[in-house]
Chains A and B, each alone.
Chain A
Amino acid sequence: DQQVKQNSPSLSVQEGRISILNCDYTNSMFDYFLWYKKYPAEGPTFLISISSIKDKNEDGRFTVFLNKSAKHLSLHIVPSQPGDSAVYFCAASNFGNEKLTFGTGTRLTIIP
């Protein structure tokens, strides 16, 4: 049972435009959400996170939005740059569990 779902395995976006990566979850106990970015042959690196008490968190070009009622979060990257081409994983956890549940990832390709 996939509790964290990234339904788009891939996404292509023109350089300079906005990239929107989506993530849905089914477990209502999740209260903390994170996005990780992964280049080939490297481990995932932390990008941005959001707590369930907020609906938006912004860090430079990256913004994460959380819609708790829809159990949906999204990562916006604007403007998109070629270096953003990577696989993006969303992850979720619930207080005290310390176990991140990851989605299957979305491969983002930025077209120059």
Chain B
Amino acid sequence: EAGVTQSPTHLIKTRGQQATLRCSPISGHTSVYWYQQALGLGLQFLLWYDEGEERNRGNFPPRFSGRQFPNYSSELNVNALELEDSALYLCASSFGTALSGNTIYFGEGSWLTVV
């Protein structure tokens, strides 16, 4: 069974541009989470989508946005890129949302470099 897949693996953008990252969850998983791992920092929660709706977002500015499609795949968009947006962006998925403790499964991440 395929795991969480993310694309692209690496992306280089210049400051001010927009970046779009994509994620396909594990088959049957309805929740998708986005995390940012910047150098020296832990995994910072960005966004949580479930059944096509944004359910929660972390402490990130509005230029970080995304969406979830009917097939539960998801996009993360980062507008007006800044140098400090350079990070590993991890997508994760889980089955259901009813209880805490649903194990979430991570993809391998997309490296975004802003120059």
**Which positions in A face B, CB cutoff 8 Å?**
2, 4, 6, 31-32, 34, 36, 41-46, 49, 51, 89, 91, 93-105
Contact = CB atoms under 8 A, between A and B. Distances in A.
Contact of B99 (A2, A36, A95, A104): A95
B103 A93 contact: no
A46 B105 CA distance: 7
A98 B95 CA distance: 12
B106 A98 contact: no
Contacts of B90: 43-44
Contact of A44 (B44, B99, B100, B106): B106
B7 to A, nearest CB: 13
B55 A98 contact: yes
B25 interface: no
A49 B56 contact: no
A51 B103 CA distance: 12
B97 interface: yes
Contact of B101 (A42, A49, A89): A49
A49 B104 CA distance: 11
Given A45-B106, A46-B104, A49-B101, A99 B42 contact: no
A43 B109 CA distance: 6
Contacts of A31: 100
A34 to B, nearest CB: 8
Given A98-B31, A100-B45, A103-B42, A43 B100 contact: no
A44 B43 CA distance: 10
Interface string B78-115: 00000000000010100001011111111111000000
Nearest to B97: A98
B56 A105 contact: no
A103 B33 CA distance: 17
A96 to B, nearest CB: 7
A97 B35 CA distance: 15
B48 interface: yes
A93 B100 contact: yes
Nearest to B90: A43
Given A43-B109, A49-B101, A98 B43 contact: no
